[in-house]
């Protein structure tokens, strides 16, 4: 075979490898090229229990994904879990009193952060106050831990039984 043809075929082979790597990164791993901070703003949420929330879990408002969890760590002073939430700049009008709750999709599905918007808090001029980059919010609902729930349930059954006796 001619050497030029050979070079061409090898070139296609190498290019196919690069294309495969790109497909794996973008489509399968969901890597986004434009993860610059300009398109997102980060707010910090204080939780008491995050359940099995993970970094990169989605943040949903009414079922629509508006961002993702960018970091989870413990505040060294209060020993409280802090969840950093990266929210799309498009949705910059989330009121300060909005509630962030850790919810589960389906009975055994993975956990996500649900946002319930609230515009109750106003500044002096009557304009709603929004969460901005770097805001810290404590308006959070912790994850429901199934074992704790079962424990409470069994405890209450025991109590009601002993009352009736």
Partner 1 sequence: MFLLKPIFNLGAFGINFFSTLGKATIKLYQALIGKPQFRKHFPLLVKQLYVVGVQSILIIIVSGLFIGMVLGLQGYNVLVNFKAEASLGPLVALSLLRELGPVVSALLFAGRAGSALTAEIGLMKTTDQLSSMEMMAIDPLRRVISPRFWAGVISLPILTLLFNVVGIYGGKMVGVDWLGIDEGTFWTGTQASVEIYKDIVQGSIKSLVFAFIVTWIAVFNGYNCERTSEGLSKATTNTVVYSSLIVLGLDFVLTALMFN
- Are the CB atoms for 21 and 111 separated by under 8 Å? no
Minimum distance, C-beta of residue 120 to partner 1, in the bound complex (Å) = 33
Q: Tell me: does residue 23 bind partner 1 (CB under 8 A).
A: yes
Q: Tell me: does residue 24 bind partner 1 (CB under 8 A).
A: yes
Could you give the CA distance from residue 30 to residue 164 in angstroms, rounded to a whole number? 57
Q: Tell me: does residue 163 bind partner 1 (CB under 8 A).
A: no
Could you give the CA distance from residue 159 to residue 164 in angstroms, rounded to a whole number? 9
Region from 78-86, 89-97, 104-112, 125-133 binding partner 1, contact rule CB under 8 A: 104-112
Nearer to partner 1, 29 or 79 (CB): 29
Q: Tell me: does residue 77 bind partner 1 (CB under 8 A).
A: no
* 3-state class (DSSP) for residue 132: coil
Sorted by sequence, the CB contacts under 8 Å of residue 58 that are 6+ apart come out as 65, 67, 68, 69, 112, 113
Nearer to partner 1, 13 or 160 (CB): 13
Could you give the CA distance from residue 49 to residue 52 in angstroms, rounded to a whole number? 9
Where do contacts with partner 1 occur on this chain (CB under 8 A)? 1, 3, 6-7, 9-10, 12-14, 16-17, 20-21, 23-25, 27-31, 56-58, 108-110
């Amino acid at each position: 075979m001619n050497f030029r043809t050979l070079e061409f075929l090898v070139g296609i082979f190498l290019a196919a490898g690069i294309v495969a790597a790109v497909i794996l990164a973008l489509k399968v791993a969901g890597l986004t090229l434009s993860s610059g901070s300009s398109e997102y703003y980060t707010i910090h949420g204080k939780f008491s229990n995050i359940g099995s929330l993970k970094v990169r879990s989605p943040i949903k408002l009414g079922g629509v994904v508006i961002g993702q969890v960018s970091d989870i760590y413990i505040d060294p002073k209060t020993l409280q879990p802090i969840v950093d939430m990266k929210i799309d700049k498009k949705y910059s009008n989330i009121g300060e009193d909005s509630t962030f709750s850790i919810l589960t999709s389906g009975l055994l599905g993975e956990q996500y952060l649900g946002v319930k918007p609230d515009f109750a808090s106003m500044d002096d001029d009557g304009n709603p106050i929004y969460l901005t980059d770097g805001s810290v919010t404590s308006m959070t609902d912790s994850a429901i831990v199934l074992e704790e729930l079962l424990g409470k349930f069994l405890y209450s059954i025991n109590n009601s039984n002993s009352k009736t006796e």
